[in-house]
Structure formats: C-alpha cells, structure tokens
Amino acid sequence: MLASGPIRILGIDPGSRITGYGIIDSDGRRSVHVASGCIRTTDSGLPARLQVIFSGVQELMARYHPAAVAVEQVFMARNADSALKLGQARSAAICATFQVGAEVHEYAARAIKQAIVGIGHADKAQVSHMVAVLLNHREALQVDASDALAVALCHAHTRPLKARLAALPPLQAATLARMPGRPRARAAGRGLRR
C-alpha cells in the first residue's frame, strides 16, 4: 500500500453495548470525514449483541469499502468480565472485516491520544475537540463516534512512517525500532545542584 496515495479508513471503537465507527478519506496530510456513528445493541444476551456488531460492521464494509481498518486495542480493566466482553465485541467487529480483505491495524488508547492530542493521557473532551478540528467537522459528534474517528486519524497519521520503515532494509529497520525515544525534558528546578 502506498503511503502517499489517498486511502479510506474505518476506525472502530469497540464496545459490547455501543460500538463507535468513523470513516475518513486521508492522504496522510489531509483527512476528510466520510461518515460516523454508533452500532447500538439491545439488552439481549451477549451472543445476540455480538451478532448485531458483526452485522453492523459487515454493512459498513459493504457500503463504504475501506482499504484499512483501525481498531482500538483492549486495555485490561479492573473488572475481568467487562474486559472479556469488550474483547469479544472487538473480535466480532474485526471478523466482520475479513470478507472484504481490508488491512487491520491495532492501536493502544494511549497511542491514539498521543497521535491526536499530543499527550497520551488526554481526556475524551480533548480528543473530541481535536477530532473536530482535524476533520473541520462543525456538528457535535457522539462520544463513541468521536473515539472511532480518532482511531482512524491515528492510523492516517502513522501510516506514512510505517510505510517508510517497511521499505528499509531489515537490519536498518530493526536498529531504528530499538532506538530509544527522545529524552524527556526535566521539570524546572529538578536535577540542578545547589
């Protein structure tokens, strides 16, 4: 896949009750909002909810034909049962993309916030605001849809770098992957001898 060409990306913010989706067209420098919303399940049992998520994502794939799918990774919550349900909802959404053959990419919540807001511990309001700014979107976005658009934008922003790293010879790519990040700036007054 060329990093410089335009691509349609489906971002998914999985949830067992509400799964957010956001679709953008991006060339790596500029992204345009195509569609966003939520797949809402009923209060029925988990298998029925997973079927709704699976069918909803299949419908999105058939309607919008994204070339890439970006999904938020599951984080370990305090409640193991909730984490398992979230993982199953995520799996249902990912499996629904297989028939079309789009590439699937996963991103940690911290990486998504870092790519969109610039800090990994940003709150939902900050993420939603930056999503609206980056997409020049004037209408209010639902929280889950905004989160899904953030996942799609994260992939759009990191895709060119991934393509450049993939084009490097294996030894050089491995060396760059092992390099530590920039050192953090020290807080004012810390580390000074008195």
- Among residues 25, 43, 59, 144, the one annotated as catalytic is 144
Tell me, yes or no, if 43 is annotated catalytic. no
Q: Is 123 a catalytic residue?
A: no
Q: Are 92 and 56 in contact (CB under 8 A)?
A: no
Residues 6+ apart with CB under 8 A from 134: 31, 116, 153
Residue type, 148: A
Active site residue 27: no
Instruction: Return the closest-CA partner of residue 151 out of 45, 49, 52, 20.
Output: 20
Which residue is catalytic, options 59, 72, 81, 147? 72
Point out the residues that are catalytic: 13, 72, 144
